[in-house]
Amino acid sequence: MADSPHPGEPAGYGDRVHRGWPGLADADGVSAVLDLRFDPGTLDTMRVRTRACASRAGFPEDRVEDMVLAVHELAANAIVHGGGAGRLRMWRLARALLCQVDDGGRPGSDRPRASFGQAAVNALPCEPGHGLWVVRQVADQLQSISGPAGTSILIRFDYGTA
């Protein structure tokens, strides 16, 4: 595998999910419409850019808000349970948008772990233990893969579904 373009991210990390998801072979070779690193201080920007991508793709406003909510929940999980930061990528397919959130792995002794407890992450309320449940309710499909390099979650939002 090639060297990683992001310092501290293992070579090839994050490229593994969308290539291996059954039925999504068309995603291979498609350039991401959004590729953004995030941390607690950039979640607002991530939500704005997610909303813009979904709107440009032609999703109705209620689906746009579902996508923003799901991506935010996954990013908050990456921050709290991963290494305190992560990466969001989005791909536009003929009839869907794919969103992948990578956490980059659990913090080691040299990486401080984010700790929010019951507090809000960028002013959105945090209800521990419900994030993935919420994502499953609004996304059309979800796949996760975890390993020593961290966790990647890929969600799919199809056009024309509620």
**Structure tokens belonging to residue 84:** 């305190």
Query: Is 124 inside any structural domain?
Result: yes
**Structure tokens belonging to residue 116:** 């929010």
One-letter amino acid for residue 105 of the chain: G
Q: 109 versus 55: which is more confidently predicted?
A: 55
Query: Is 2 inside any structural domain?
Result: no
Residue 21 confidence (pLDDT) = 46
User: CA dist 58 to 36, 50, 72, 97, 157, Å?
Assistant: 21, 13, 20, 10, 12
For residue 157, pLDDT over 90 is answered with yes
- What DSSP string runs through 64-88? HHHHHHHHHHHHHHHHHHSSS-EEE
Structural domain containing residue 45: 16-21+31-158
Domains held by the chain: number: 1
Query: Is 126 inside any structural domain?
Result: yes
For residue 54, pLDDT over 90 is answered with yes
Query: Is 56 inside any structural domain?
Result: yes
Q: Over range 100-108, report the average pLDDT.
A: 79
What CATH number is given to the structural domain containing 104? 3.30.565.10
Give the percent of the chain with pLDDT over 90.
52
Residue 16 confidence (pLDDT) = 43
